Copies of this chain bind each other. A is one copy, B any other.
Amino acid sequence: MLFQTLDILGTIAFAISGVLTAFSKRLDPFGVFIIAFVTAVGGGTLRDILIGNTPVAWMQDITLIGVVAASVVFALVLRNRLDKLRTSLFLFDTIGLGMFTLIGIEKGIGADLHPLASVALGTITGTFGGVIRDILCNEIPVLFQKEIYATTCIVGGMVYFLLAYFELPMFWVALATIITVIAIRLLAVTLKLSLPSFYPSEK
Taking a contact as CB atoms under 8 Å apart, the answer to whether B52 and A55 are in contact is: yes
Answer whether residue A195 sits at the interface, using C-beta atoms and an 8 A cutoff.
Answer: yes
Cβ contacts A39-66/B at 8 Å (1 or 0 each):
0000001000111101110111010010
Does A137 lie at the interface of the complex (its beta carbon under 8 Å from any beta carbon of B)? yes
CB contact under 8 A between A198 and B59, given known A28-B145, A54-B52, A146-B28: no
Question: A26-B199, A195-B28, A197-B28 are contacts. A65–B120 as well, Cβ < 8 Å?
Answer: yes
Write out, one digit per residue, whether chain A residues 165-203 have a CB within 8 A of any chain B CB (1) or not (0).
000000000000000000000000000001111110000
Cβ of A140 within 8 Å of any chain B Cβ, yes or no, is yes
Q: At the interface, yes or no: A162 with Cβ under 8 Å from chain B?
A: no
Q: Do A116 and B31 contact each other (CB < 8 Å), given the known contacts A138-B139, A198-B76?
A: no
Point out the residues of chain B lying under 8 angstroms from A111, CB to CB. Answer: 55, 59
A27 within 8 A of B: yes
State the oligomeric state as a number of copies. Answer: 3
Which residue in B34, B138, B143, B150 is a CB contact (below 8 Å) of A138? B138
State which of B26, B35, B50 has its C-beta within 8 Å of the C-beta of A54: B50
Query: Given that A23-B198, A120-B65, A145-B31 are contacting pairs, would A49 and B51 also be in contact in the complex, using a CB cutoff of 8 Å?
Result: no
Please name the residue on chain B nearest to A55 by beta carbon.
B51
Chain B residue nearest in CB terms to A199: B26
Extra contacts, 19 of them, besides A27-B140, A27-B144, A62-B117 (Cβ < 8 A), are A22-B144, A23-B198, A25-B140, A28-B146, A28-B195, A28-B197, A30-B143, A30-B144, A30-B151, A31-B143, A31-B145, A49-B54, A50-B54, A50-B59, A51-B54, A59-B111, A59-B114, A62-B114, A138-B138
